[in-house]
């Protein structure tokens, strides 16, 4: 494969192949996508329409419009009982460039940054892009794929709870023990999407940490590109300067529209979606297990199931393509999430409705029986 400056997402190869099959008329069931399929709340759309008519959408302050920073700070107080000042909230175009800027600042100040493997690939890729030093932490299925303090050998660590690709949720106690050991960059992008278990924020156990989060998952606003950081006060100036240079500001229309998310009614609507995701999780989890997939860690949050396919194959990358071609079901190869035994795993996403999940499961069952 061509060598690139950073690794691409391998799932894009699956998606390309899926599109090719779709062009030929095949119906493909999509279990590979990592974005919610549910509609963005009407209140958000209305706010965007009004704003579009009334304003010229100039750049905003580099750290975001003050009203949004305030609403996000309030939301943390209501949701987690933590006090953050709006000054510490930095609005970014999705959480991704925020994460990039944070990794730069933290690696300059604290040196090496540890990250979990398997884990979200951007941690490793962004560190490489920055020429910053990363230290991989192999997280194991027997430990629920969790980072433990004993494994941290650096001054800073990236945590992701609920996690992609596993759906692991850290307890307050676990977060506390990790925060006592290292400076935590806490990727909380899947917060709000938990099933029967609460995901505490890192800010409940320490003030000295960074939260990376945004409107892409629970709030359903992937394409609007709005996210946020919550950072210790002394990091604000550096981050503001980096983001000014990198992105100028997050999209103005999206920032204003995102304000609507915090209206009572809108929050209730979003919270009701969690039940929909939970039903899908239950259906997919029991279905996959029934047809022979092993799931060492059941997801308590996010919208993924990380399944062990080592009883079917030694190469989950090849297996993903076989499943696509023969069963018409698109899944993400484990290879996308690192190197630690990832050839044994694939990720199923439940960002599709129950009918599609049932059909996908049936197709997988038939495929495995014929294989
Ligand atoms: N962190 C994790 C773990 C993710 O899965 C994603 C999206 N796939 C992101 C961060 C980035 O999301 P966004 O830039 O849309 O906020």
The 10s digit of each residue's pLDDT in 252-299 is 999 999 999 999 999 999 999 999 999 999 999 999 999 999 999 999
Residue 2 lies in a domain: no
Verify that 28 and 168 share a domain, yes or no.
Answer: no
Distance CA 11, CA 336 (A): 7
Picking from 237, 261, 285, the residue at the C-terminal end of a domain is 261
Spatial separation of the C-alpha atoms in residues 142 and 110, rounded to whole Å: 30
Q: What is the DSSP letter of 184?
A: E
Residues with Cβ within 8 Å of 305's Cβ and at least 6 positions away in sequence, in order, are 167, 281, 284, 285, 288, 295, 298, 299, 347, 348, 350
Provide the pLDDT confidence category of residue 132 given band limits of 50, 70 and 90: very high
The domain tally of the chain equals: 2
Domain boundary among the residues 235, 261, 287 is at 261
- What is the model's pTM? 0.97
Task: Say if CB 168 and CB 144 are below 8 A apart.
Answer: yes
What does the block give as tokens for 188? 């909380």
Q: What is the mean pLDDT of residues 340-348?
A: 98
pLDDT digits (tens, 9 = 90+) for 187-212: 999 999 999 999 999 999 999 999 99
Q: Which two tokens stand for residue 137?
A: 């932490």
290 and 357 both lie in a single domain: yes
- Does 100 fall in a domain? yes
Is the distance from the beta carbon of residue 316 to the nearest atom of ligand 1 less than 6 Å?
no
227-230 and 183-187: which strand pairing?
unpaired
The alpha carbon of 89 and the centre of ligand 1 are apart by a number of angstroms equal to: 18
CA of 95 to the centre of ligand 1 (A): 6
Helix-strand-coil split of the chain, %, nearest 5: 50, 15, 35
**CB of 34 shorter than 6 A to ligand 1:** yes
Domain that holds residue 193: 43-261
Distance CA 368, CA 320 (A): 13
Which pLDDT score, from 0 to 100, does residue 285 have?
Answer: 98
Helix (H, G, I), strand (E, B) or coil at 318: helix
91, 236: one domain: yes
Instruction: Evaluate: CB of 32 within 6 angstroms of ligand 1.
Output: no
Would 113 be classed as within a structural domain?
yes
Positive or negative: CA dihedral 68, 74, 78, 79: positive
- Find out whether the beta carbon of 160 lies less than 6 Å from any atom of ligand 1: yes
């Amino acid at each position: 494969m061509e060598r690139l400056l950073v690794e691409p997402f391998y799932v894009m190869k699956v998606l390309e192949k899926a599109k090719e099959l779709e062009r030929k008329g095949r119906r493909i069931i999509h279990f590979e996508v990592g974005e919610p399929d549910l509609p963005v709340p009407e209140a958000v759309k209305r706010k965007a329409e009004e704003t579009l008519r009334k304003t010229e959408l100039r750049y905003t302050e580099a750290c975001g419009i003050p009203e949004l920073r305030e609403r996000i700070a309030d939301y943390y107080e209501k949701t987690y009982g933590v006090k953050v000042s709006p000054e510490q909230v930095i609005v970014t175009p999705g959480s991704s460039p925020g994460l990039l800027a944070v990794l730069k600042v933290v690696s300059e100040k604290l040196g090496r940054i540890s990250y979990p493997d398997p884990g979200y690939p951007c941690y490793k890729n962004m560190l490489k892009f920055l020429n910053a030093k990363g230290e991989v932490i192999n997280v194991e299925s027997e430990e629920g794929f969790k980072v433990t303090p004993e494994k941290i050998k650096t001054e800073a660590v990236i945590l992701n709870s609920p996690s992609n690709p596993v759906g692991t949720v850290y307890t307050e106690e676990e977060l506390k023990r990790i925060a006592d050991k290292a400076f935590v960059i806490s990727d909380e992008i899947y917060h709000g999407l938990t099933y029967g278990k609460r995901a505490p924020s890192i800010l409940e156990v320490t003030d000295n940490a960074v939260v990376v989060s945004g409107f892409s998952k629970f709030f359903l606003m992937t394409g609007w590109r709005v996210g946020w950081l919550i950072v210790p006060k002394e990091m604000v100036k550096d981050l503001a300067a980096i983001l000014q240079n990198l992105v100028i500001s997050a999209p103005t229309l999206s920032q204003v529209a995102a304000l609507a998310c915090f209206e009572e009614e809108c929050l209730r609507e979003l919270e009701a979606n969690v039940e929909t995701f939970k039903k899908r999780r239950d259906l997919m989890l029991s279905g996959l297990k029934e047809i022979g997939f092993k799931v060492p860690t059941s997801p308590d949050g996010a919208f993924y199931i990380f399944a062990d396919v080592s009883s079917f194959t030694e190469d989950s990358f090849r297996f993903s393509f076989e499943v696509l071609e023969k069963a018409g079901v698109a899944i993400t190869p484990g290879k996308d999430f690192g190197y630690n035994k990832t050839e044994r795993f694939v990720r199923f996403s439940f960002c599709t409705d129950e009918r599609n999940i049932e059909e996908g499961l049936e197709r997988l069952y038939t495929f495995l029986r014929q294989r």
